[in-house]
Amino acid sequence: MLIKQSSIETRTALTVLAHPDDAELACFGLLAKLRKNGWRVVICIVTRGENGADPTQWDRLNEARVAAALIDAEIVVGDFIDGFVPRTRELISWTEAMLVDHRPDLIVSHHVGESRTAHQDHVAVEAAVQIAVRRTDWLPTLLLAEDTDHDPAFRPNWFVDITDEFETKLAAIEMHSSQSQKYYMRSDYQKLRSNRWALNFTAQSHEVALSKYYEAYFLVQQVN
């Protein structure tokens, strides 16, 4: 299994996601769980999120830093333009450099899949990650996380119980005050979404499942 106590050397999980709040929304439960199990966590943010809130009023990177500090995760920030992340050699090279620098055992990125409505930056980043992973000279596990908006085409095949980490995930999302007006930042939406996976994909009674929170992923490749 992916989640186990590290023995001799520290294992590394690395996220490559477009915007400062994406890791919190997509996979913060998993990241918190991995940190508890001794993993190093590196959150790579491709843009500064300047398109999502007035940069003269808000510091979205600081919001991300405060959230990451809740689990003592590291942050690396790219300087691609929010809303205009290109699927280019430059993005692929930057992503490859992130992988080579940190040599992660586990990589998490966006799930776009068959969606025709996913955020354009998420589309470019997922593509770059898939290409960069193919070029590594080691075999990392690759997970694609459920996207911010509900996507009927999302067919997850890997789930993680984040019940014990759920309050930490909500606290991390709350750090993004500049985004608080967006529906997916609401704790009731996050609860609904996480409860739904617990209900649909665990062999437990409804009463038990409704007290559980899960994150859902598409597992591209798993390496133990």
Which is nearer to Zn ion, 2 or 118 (by Cβ)? Answer: 118
Q: Which one among 14, 16, 18, 144 touches Zn ion, defined by CB under 5 A?
A: 18
C-alpha to C-alpha distance for 164 and 29, rounded to whole angstroms: 8
Among residues 2, 12, 14, 19, the one that binds Zn ion under rule CB under 5 A? 19
Q: Edge-to-edge strands of the sheet including 40-47?
A: 74-80, 40-47, 12-17, 106-110, 141-145, 214-221, 158-161
Could you identify the residue written with the tokens 């930057």?
Answer: 94
Q: Tell me: does residue 27 bind Zn ion (CB under 5 A).
A: no
Site string for Zn ion, 145-184 (x = CB under 5 A): ----------------------------------------
| Least distance from Zn ion to the Cβ atom of residue 91, Å | 15
CA 94 to chain centre: 18
Q: Which residue is nearest to Zn ion (CB)?
A: 19
Interacting span for Zn ion (CB under 5 A) from 15-23, 67-75, 178-186, 203-211: 15-23
**Binding range to Zn ion, per CB under 5 A, among 16-24, 39-47, 94-102, 200-208:** 16-24
In this complex, which beta carbon is closest to Zn ion, that of residue 37 or of residue 180? 180
Binding status of residue 23 toward Zn ion by CB under 5 A: no
Nearest alpha carbon to residue 166 among 200, 210, 132: 210
Q: Where are the alpha helices (DSSP H) in the chain?
A: 22-36, 60-69, 89-102, 120-134, 166-174, 187-201, 206-209
Both tokens of residue 45? 């943010």
Interface with Zn ion, residue 22, by CB under 5 A:
yes
Residue ranges in contact with Zn ion by CB under 5 A: 18-19, 22
